[in-house]
Amino acid sequence: MSQAGKIALNLMEVIAKKIPKEGGITRVEYEGPRIALYTKNPRFLIGNNPLISDIVNSVKKRVVIRCDISLRKSEEETRQYIGDIASSESGLSGIFFDNAIGEVIVDVNKPSLLKQQSEFNLLDFAEKTGWIININKISTIPSTTLKTIYQTLKSTETEREKLFRNFGNNIFRSRLTSTNEVTLKTLGGFQEVGRSSMLIETGESKILLDCGIHPGAKNSFSSYPRFDWAGIDLQDLDAVIMSHAHLDHSGFLPALFKYGYNGPVYCSEPTLPLMTLLLNDAVKIASMEGRQFYDLVDVRDMIKHCVPLSFDSVTDVSPDIKIVLKNSGHILGSASIHLHIGDGSHNIVYSGDFKYGPSSLLEPAILNYPRVETLIVEGTYGSKIDIMPSREEVDTDFVHSINDTIKSDGKVLIPVPAVGRAQEIMLVLSRYMNSGDLIECPIFIEGMISEATAIHINYPEYLERNLRKQIIENDESPFESDYFTIVNHPSQRSEVLQTNPCIIMATSGMLEGGPVLDYFGKISNKKENKIIFVSYQVQGTLGRRVLDGTSDVSLVNEDGKIQVVSIKCDVEKIDGFSGHSDYNQIMKYVSRLRPKLKRVIVDHGEKRKLENLSHIINRIFKIPASAPAVREAIKIC
């Protein structure tokens, strides 16, 4: 019998001993990092919390309850049942059955109303239908990304059931070694911003953290993580863990599947749809530019392998590594990753991109970890002079700057990454137009931003507490304000360009492609207009050149002709909206982690800034700190 089979048998024995016959257990199965208990008597198990916590404590694994397949009503019957009992005010908009795990997701506009109905509580619903119910908030803004994900999950049910079992067999295989050696290999995003990726190796496992691309890179050696240098066989990787959806952290992920990776990808719940949105768009742009190196099928392959996790839950990802994701305050679903290695003798926190400060959109980064010895922290704003003004000052400057342009009948173009800054800026604009501080004028939102916004509304529990309350309890969303007009098709752009004054928000944030370029060419050559950058501009991007004062730039038109644009409009940069911590926030974060750190490694920043930052951390806090380059192997312990 295989090792995995033996372990499953042992587990079965332990669980069988704990659960009496009336528990009706029919199967015990790995479901990725969890153990799924299939029962014919859901009332006994779902209603018996002490018994379940006792099992969790003795098997030291996460346990989920599933109904035995013989109890499951057909999808059609269940769909009919839900339709019959759901109150019409709840705004039922979709029902998705996942046979791989026996779950039904019910999409509604007002989940609170459905949750008040006793028929929709977990137990009653399971008894009646044999399905585990999951009630999901859905936005009135349509989202094709969520549809893509549902379709992919649906068409791969059988395959995923097998995959999840394999993931479990691999995670819970018995350990071969008892050493606690840990090595970090830097593959990308060290002494640079872009292509973030690193490998954590122990005697037992290999875990990849992030897998990005470099947006401004000149050649393939600086565009992608250096797997070639690390000599990794992708099949030997135990897991890939994603901190957040931005392409400089996720853009290379589908390529792993194209080149043979077949293991799990762990990310927070909102990261899956956000990443899908950005990666699908990246494929589209790359294929137009003829530099495509993976395809939509690879993105779908990635979706199939994703194991979304909620924040703060402990998850086994290999025989000697457990992870916890915690809010990092950077974008929706962005996480800092805590790795608990071996018997807990060494703990690493990878901050990911983080904001240790207030924003309208998210709560600040969390830092209550039980233990951390090594911190890998980003230093985008790691230089002493990178100090941001307070949010009140930033908002006031922003409002004044826009008002000036509006008064002279000009247009304000705000290049924004679709995910994160766009939603923060939407909240600020709608708040100040409501209060009368910002002169009312049309705000045009390019399609992809609205798609990302819909995903924000779908995960209200991940948003800033007041915003969350507004969406969940009051069913109001400032994202759906009347001030916003969504531009769904390029043909609408000429109309937008004839509107004076107006505000236009468009992607990409660094002028590296996307609809913003279409506007940029027609807006920047008139002096009454203005461009306001609100996010970090990576070296080598057009955004950075414009910000640094370039007066003429060449653009390629839709018809392939080169157009030279003279920049006559005002160009401004407002830093305080950034989703990254400024210098003071980084220093506070480092100093407040308890117990005192044994080592700090800084990444994700320009070389000089990171070297300074590590030097200062070393000097002020007396913690050994370094700023390694890409292609270094560092002995952590």
Dihedral angle over CA of 92, 93, 97, 103, nearest 10:
-50
Straight-line distance from the first to the last Cα atom of the chain, in angstroms, rounded to the nearest whole number: 36
Nearest distance, CB of residue 330 and Zn ion, angstroms: 6
Single out the segment in contact with Zn ion by CB under 5 A; choices: 85-93, 352-360, 487-495, 533-541. 352-360
User: How far apart, in whole angstroms, are the C-alpha atoms of residue 517 and residue 513?
Assistant: 6
Q: Among all chains, which residue has been given the structure tokens 């930033």?
A: 394
Q: Decide if residue 353 touches Zn ion (CB under 5 A).
A: yes
CB-nearer residue toward Zn ion: 328 or 477: 328
Nearest distance, CB of residue 350 and Zn ion, angstroms: 13
Q: Which residue is nearest to Zn ion (CB)?
A: 246
User: How far apart, in whole angstroms, are the C-alpha atoms of residue 210 and residue 596?
Assistant: 26
CB-nearer residue toward Zn ion: 197 or 477: 197
User: How far apart, in whole angstroms, are the C-alpha atoms of residue 542 and residue 521?
Assistant: 12
* The amino acid at 261: Y
CB-nearer residue toward Zn ion: 200 or 332: 332
CB-nearer residue toward Zn ion: 172 or 350: 350
Q: How many residues sit in the footprint of Zn ion (CB under 5 A)?
A: 2
Single out the segment in contact with Zn ion by CB under 5 A; choices: 25-33, 243-251, 498-506, 586-594. 243-251
Longest dimension (CA), the chain: 79
CB-nearer residue toward Zn ion: 353 or 582: 353
Single out the segment in contact with Zn ion by CB under 5 A; choices: 49-57, 111-119, 128-136, 347-355. 347-355
Nearest distance, CB of residue 296 and Zn ion, angstroms: 23
Q: Decide if residue 192 touches Zn ion (CB under 5 A).
A: no
Give me the DSSP letters along 487-530.
E-SGGGHHHHHT-SSEEEEES-TTSSSSHHHHHHHHHTTSTT-E
Nearest distance, CB of residue 336 and Zn ion, angstroms: 12
Half-sphere exposure of 136 (CA within 13 A, CB side): 25
Nearest distance, CB of residue 244 and Zn ion, angstroms: 6
CB-nearer residue toward Zn ion: 196 or 347: 196
Single out the segment in contact with Zn ion by CB under 5 A; choices: 84-92, 241-249, 499-507, 559-567. 241-249
Nearest distance, CB of residue 355 and Zn ion, angstroms: 10
Beta-strand ranges (E) seen in 73-165 are 92-98, 103-108, 132-137
Q: How far is CA 438 from CA 405, 427, 478, 578, in A?
A: 11, 13, 16, 21
CB-nearer residue toward Zn ion: 320 or 424: 424
Q: Are 198 and 185 in contact (CB under 8 A)?
A: yes
Q: Decide if residue 210 touches Zn ion (CB under 5 A).
A: no
Q: Among all chains, which residue has been given the structure tokens 């033996």?
A: 6
Q: Decide if residue 246 touches Zn ion (CB under 5 A).
A: yes
Q: Decide if residue 201 touches Zn ion (CB under 5 A).
A: no
CB-nearer residue toward Zn ion: 353 or 373: 353
Cα 184–Cα 306–Cα 133 angle in degrees, nearest 5: 135
Nearest distance, CB of residue 275 and Zn ion, angstroms: 12
**Which residues lie near Zn ion (CB under 5 A)?**
246, 353
